[in-house]
Amino acid sequence: MNSFRVITFMVMVLSLSNMALSQKTPESAVRLYCALDGEGAGYSNHQEHSKEFDSVQMDSVEAAWDESTVIKDYEIVGVIKKEGSAKITVLYHVLGKISSDLALVHATSNEKVTFDVVRTGEEWKVDHSEIGPHITKTAMLKILNSERADAAQKAQTSNDAQVKEVLVNLERAIHKIETW
């Protein structure tokens, strides 16, 4: 059953770029929100799918999180519908946390989050989520590898010790997350 969930999650993530972004039900809006967030769209406004991520939310805000949660996957575990609104509970299977200064905490756990979802015309949207990004391990490694490439390029043209320290910290973080 667990491998079925992982396969289902991966198929959904891989099909993001090909699927029509649908928010026809509260559950589909939350699934889309979680899938886009899982790909890193909520990590910063400079990530792929950031615009789609903003369109799934009532009032999107500039992403500025001090910490991100690295997840294995997630599943919807509860749905309460009312007229024009819903509460959708998601269970995240957490691998650990990474802070903006690249401090890592590897701690597997399950985290329940209840999203408020509201109808806006024919679509449903997440009513501003206060949780930080919940990014899949694969997406986090992609983001960190991109940042490492930028840092490596800067390190080649700079004698600044801080630039080289950032590169070392990125490489350390990537290596640790790969083992999660």
Q: Give 156-168 pLDDT, tens digit per residue.
A: 888 888 888 999 9
- Assigned domain for 27 exists: yes
> Given this model, what pLDDT does residue 159 score?
84
Q: Residue 117: which CATH number?
A: 3.10.450
> Token pair for residue 115?
């999203």
Q: Which percentage of the chain shows pLDDT scores above 70?
A: 83
Residues 6+ apart with CB under 8 A from 167: 148, 151, 152, 154, 155
Distance (Å, whole) CA 18 – CA 95: 28
Structural domain containing residue 104: 2-135
Please count the structural domains in the chain: 1
The answer to whether position 179 is within a domain reads no
The CA distance from 155 to 111, in Å, is 38
pLDDT in tens, 137-146: 999 999 999 9
Q: Does some domain include residue 154?
A: no
Residue 126 domain-assigned (yes or no): yes
CA distance 180 to 176: 7
**H or E element at residue 150:** helix 137-156
